Amino acid sequence: MKIATWNVNSLRVRLDQVRDWLAAANPDVLAIQETKLRDEDFPVAALEAIGYRAAFSGQPTYNGVALLSRQPAANVGTQIDGFEDPQKRVLAASFGSLRVINLYVPNGQSVGSDKYRYKLEWLAALELQLARELRAHEHCVVLGDFNIAPEDRDVHDPAAWEGKVLCSAAERAALKRIMALGFCDAYRRFPQAEQTFSWWDYRAGGFRRNRGLRIDLILASEALCPDCRSCYIDTGPRGLERPSDHTPVVADFDF
């Protein structure tokens, strides 16, 4: 199973890039975030035309998540149980015995803001949800835009980002608690070049200067970690005309 994540920053704008990437990379599952589409506007036919089924949970203008897959999604969930949230940020589904949970973690805006508090509350609720998912499903992949750079080596300029949103101690601690439920970071199971990132700000030539962060993650449950054969970031789409500010991350599992 080849499983990937990509924050597309508007599926309407990026549909051709997504279709091209699916045709070239041929993943079994692609988790996308920031679709920014109402469910009734989701391009089901355009994806079915290239052999992908779609499950989605969207809203106009903001947020929105989807799972594009060769086989149809089963047992689809769109909520963190017990956490009322109108923002569409979670999409869980089963593909055979594999549970896949696609996340668009809140950005948090700035440390100390209302949105930052919402992010930390959301992550605490997510931790409980993932504990439940792990109890029900031994083989879990949790992936998406985490809006957290796990460590300083995931940051182009750790000194400039120290304590800032996406890098703050409280966010990293929340991620560590989630990892401690029993997940590995697929990317860090393998040797990787330094200064490799998955997101670069549109402003000030961020990508050209490789001023990025690794905030798009693929977590595998402990039972699944030994089956992970590779994990890589595909920077190709970030270099296209009119790109998303994120680029795909891919993990290949013997599963």
Partner DNA sequence: ATGGTGGCGCGGCCA
**Does residue 240 touch DNA according to CB under 7 A?**
no
C-beta closer to DNA: residue 17 or 221: 17
Q: Give Cβ neighbours of residue 32 (< 8 Å, ≥ 6 apart).
A: 5, 6, 7, 8, 11, 18, 65, 66, 67, 68, 102
C-beta closer to DNA: residue 36 or 214: 36
Q: Give Cβ neighbours of residue 204 (< 8 Å, ≥ 6 apart).
A: 211
Alpha-carbon distance of 126 to 110, in angstroms, equals 20
Instruction: Confirm if 109 and 116 have CB atoms less than 8 A apart.
Output: yes
Alpha-carbon distance of 5 to 249, in angstroms, equals 5
Q: Which secondary-structure segment (H or E) carries 171? A: helix 169-180
- Quote the least distance from Cβ 242 to DNA, whole Å: 5
**Does residue 36 touch DNA according to CB under 7 A?**
yes
Alpha-carbon distance of 124 to 175, in angstroms, equals 9
State which of residues 40, 193, 204, 254 lies at the interface with DNA (CB under 7 A).
Answer: 204
**Does residue 239 touch DNA according to CB under 7 A?**
no
State which of residues 49, 115, 151, 160 lies at the interface with DNA (CB under 7 A).
Answer: 115
- Quote the least distance from Cβ 159 to DNA, whole Å: 15
**Does residue 242 touch DNA according to CB under 7 A?**
yes
**Does residue 109 touch DNA according to CB under 7 A?**
yes
Alpha-carbon dihedral 203, 32, 21, 211, rounded to 10 degrees: 30
**Does residue 107 touch DNA according to CB under 7 A?**
yes
C-beta closer to DNA: residue 167 or 224: 167
Alpha-carbon distance of 233 to 6, in angstroms, equals 10
**Does residue 60 touch DNA according to CB under 7 A?**
yes
C-beta closer to DNA: residue 135 or 203: 203
* Residues involved in catalysis: 104, 145
C-beta closer to DNA: residue 135 or 242: 242
**Does residue 209 touch DNA according to CB under 7 A?**
no
**Does residue 13 touch DNA according to CB under 7 A?**
yes
Q: Look up residue 202 and give its amino acid.
A: Y
Instruction: Confirm if 203 and 209 have CB atoms less than 8 A apart.
Output: no
**Does residue 12 touch DNA according to CB under 7 A?**
yes
- Residues in contact with DNA by CB under 7 A are 9-10, 12-13, 36, 60-62, 106-107, 109, 115, 147, 202-204, 242
